[in-house]
Amino acid sequence: MTSVIITHELTKRFPGGLLAVDSVDLDVRAGDLFGFLGPNGAGKTTTIRMLLALIHPTSGSIEVLGHEVPHHAQLALHGVGNLVEGPAFYPYLSGTRNLITFDAAGAGGSARTRRKRVGEAIERVGLSEVGDRPVKAYSLGMRQRLGLAAALLRTPRLLVLDEPSNGLDAQGIHELRTMFVELVRNGTTIMLSSHLLAEVELICTRAAMMSGGRIVAQDDVADLLAPTGWVRVTTPDLERALRALQDGPFRFEQVDGATVRVAIGDRPAELLNRALVHDDIRVRELVLERRTLEDVFLERTGDGEIR
């Protein structure tokens, strides 16, 4: 699979000695919906700003769409749309007029088709009904949507988004999630920075986790969320189930008055179910236990909850 973003030992140290990004190796591949995860202050935004040539690294290398950044940033970023640190717009112009102005200033489209493309971008992000209102009347969530519309004007090969769900309600987040999946399906690679692990877990194909300026995990999401080797069994016959497990080859621990957690290792969960059913023990639910992305983060860092 072709990589669209590659960094090697990417490092950023600010004046005063603050090490914000420490030897980061990223690999974002074509077709990824790539989650870039970690708590606020982990170094995600600084990394993204270096990818987009908004700031220069102290050391290390960056390649975006086959071109070195920052030395060949113009070539590298021609096929990149981005939404970073909140979009800036002219407050007294409408959303539509802002996008027309942005497009005319170099978003890369044809003047002949400008209004059509702006209208399509406005509709795609759900702002058709407010496109003619001045941006000063927009909520934070509406500004985020308008920023995403601006990023989509380029018909980008790569979309880099920093906390795009800021200011959105649950419905807005769901709509963005659906849009991202559709964009990837149609050929756009997305790198999505977020501290909302549960949201990212639902849609991302690959992910990197950052803490204290360093990458602590990077893999396919399916592999990061691999089964733990335990299942949870819910049964109305808990006492009988516990006696049967004591006589069998299983390690287990009681969770509550109806649930027991059983270690099965590499054995199929069906073997456990068959053993219980053989003893006429009713099984209401048998669930293979998997990690969440937050579990993985805590395992790798020992840190507190991501906020």
**Sheet of 189-194, strands arranged across:** 80-83, 158-162, 189-194, 33-37, 206-211, 214-220
Question: Which pLDDT score is estimated for 270?
Answer: 82
pTM value? 0.83
Number of H helices and E strands in the chain, helices first, is 11, 15
The C-alpha angle with vertex 17 and arms to 13 and 18, in degrees rounded to 5, equals 60
Q: Name the amino acid, one letter, at 25.
A: D
Question: Which pLDDT score is estimated for 288?
Answer: 86
CA–CA dist 89, 102 (Å, integer): 9
Question: Which pLDDT score is estimated for 307?
Answer: 45
Structural domains present in the chain: 3-224 (3.40.50.300), 227-290 (3.30.70)
Question: Which pLDDT score is estimated for 107?
Answer: 55
pLDDT under 70: residue ranges of the chain? 86-87, 105-110, 303-307
Residue 106: which residues within 8 A CB-CB, separation 6 or more? Answer: none
Is the CB of residue 241 less than 8 Å from the CB of residue 233? yes
